[in-house]
Structure 1
């Protein structure tokens, strides 16, 4: 009779709720251990439910690769904007740019969406993306906003940061001089951003650094037609500013950063 009752109970259990046999007590189990402590998680696992003992599933490799491709395309498009290869006012489609870079249209569109958020391009429905046209007034406004943010911070840092910390940034300033010597606006733009970002990073304010970097990038496209001489002079201001910061010349810093942003527009 006992065996029949057990068989009847097993037959009446729905397939989706099949019982998992109780697991044996582990040798190192704590006091108060009950067999159902292992049976319940095992039952959940049998039904495909989440258990806290599961290891996280790694991200699919194709998604990582696509993200990498998108990042590379984004860098390439930013360079094309700075050099003027992508012309202000022109409309570019994802498939055409994808053919140029040897990729599908998807990572190009994703990169263009990011550039739209940064204000470099605007979406043209059913056509693609138009490179934003910025006039002298808008560039001057961007330079003014950058000055309002960066100049007070630079003056505060000039009073509080010791000279040896500024000395550590000399390689970045020297890199802007080398980049200016190439006459390549894209090469110089990258080194220019790196130098300014390093200066502001000494404030310890990541939000400030991010906002200033975004404004700086926006001010670099579309490119203003300036020759190698302008780039060399701009880089020389970096060196002079760093020398003033190292020596603690606050008045010199004030004059140099004001002059630097006055010429940025």
Structure 2
């Protein structure tokens, strides 16, 4: 069973070490654990509901995908990642199954999960589809939404700017999705928001061999959000139209 290479994903705060209840049951199935793998020891942490742990692990794995800590083409096992997070393999496998549904990883029988390898053309295709969905919606909203509602989005744009300034790719990816999602939510179409969010998340996974986005790239992207928001607040429709189209053209 292959082990994760390089630096392991960061452990999210609040993820417990193995609980007393798990130890009473004998811990994870011994057959799940590879020889030489060790689980975290120490005082038992408060027991959390499984779906809560799974959610925290899922968030951590998504962040690791965006940052490149989970490398395209590499195989990661549930028990090995579980040991690093201080949990059993079960919530890790559950989170990985969700990532498989999203297309981020694929199941490798008896080994674990392989991070999907994609090329630059995949990102271009995703950008094209996102533009077909988001650009017409944003332009329609620019003509119809009251400036006061746009002002309410300033904290989201500021959060993206702060994450970009730190060069935190995972935090920026989350803030970027939040901003785009809040804009699209004004259309009142939950299905549109859900589809766009899935496409957006997939577009944030770096392809194999791609250079790591620089802090300057994140800062420039965040600045486009701020400029667009200010144009919408000012009801400057020509500027808003130009900024929306340029934002998605650059994504290609």
TM-score, normalized by length of structure 1?
0.74
Whole-angstrom CA distance in 2 between matches of 1:141 and 1:210: 18
| Gap regions ≥5 residues in structure 1 | 1-62
| Structure-2 residue corresponding to 1:215 | 199
Runs of 4+ off more than 4 Å: none
Asked whether the equivalents of residues 133 and 222 of structure 1 are also in contact (C-alpha less than 8 Å), the reply is: no
Question: What does 1:218-237 correspond to in 2, within 5 Å?
Answer: 218-222=202-206, 224=210, 225-237=212-224
Residue 134 (str. 1) matches residue 118 (str. 2): yes
Whole-angstrom CA distance in 2 between matches of 1:215 and 1:249: 28
Question: What does 1:131-210 correspond to in 2, within 5 Å?
Answer: 131-210=115-194
1:245 CA drift (Å): 1.0
Asked whether the equivalents of residues 132 and 222 of structure 1 are also in contact (C-alpha less than 8 Å), the reply is: no
TM-score, normalized by length of structure 2?
0.78
Whole-angstrom CA distance in 2 between matches of 1:263 and 1:176: 18
Q: What is the count of residue pairs matched by the alignment?
A: 204
Question: What does 1:104-123 correspond to in 2, within 5 Å?
Answer: 104-123=88-107
| Structure-2 residue corresponding to 1:250 | 237
Asked whether the equivalents of residues 82 and 185 of structure 1 are also in contact (C-alpha less than 8 Å), the reply is: yes
1:183 CA drift (Å): 0.5
Q: Secondary structure of the residue that 2:49 maps to in structure 1?
A: helix
Residues 65-90 of structure 1: CA deviation (Å, up to 9, x unaligned): 11111111101100111111100000
| Gap regions ≥5 residues in structure 2 | 1-46
Pair member with larger Rg: 1
Greater fraction of residues in helix: 1
Q: Secondary structure of the residue that 1:263 maps to in structure 2?
A: helix
Whole-angstrom CA distance in 1 between matches of 2:77 and 2:108: 9
1:64 CA drift (Å): 7.0
Q: Secondary structure of the residue that 2:106 maps to in structure 1?
A: strand
Asked whether the equivalents of residues 112 and 121 of structure 1 are also in contact (C-alpha less than 8 Å), the reply is: yes
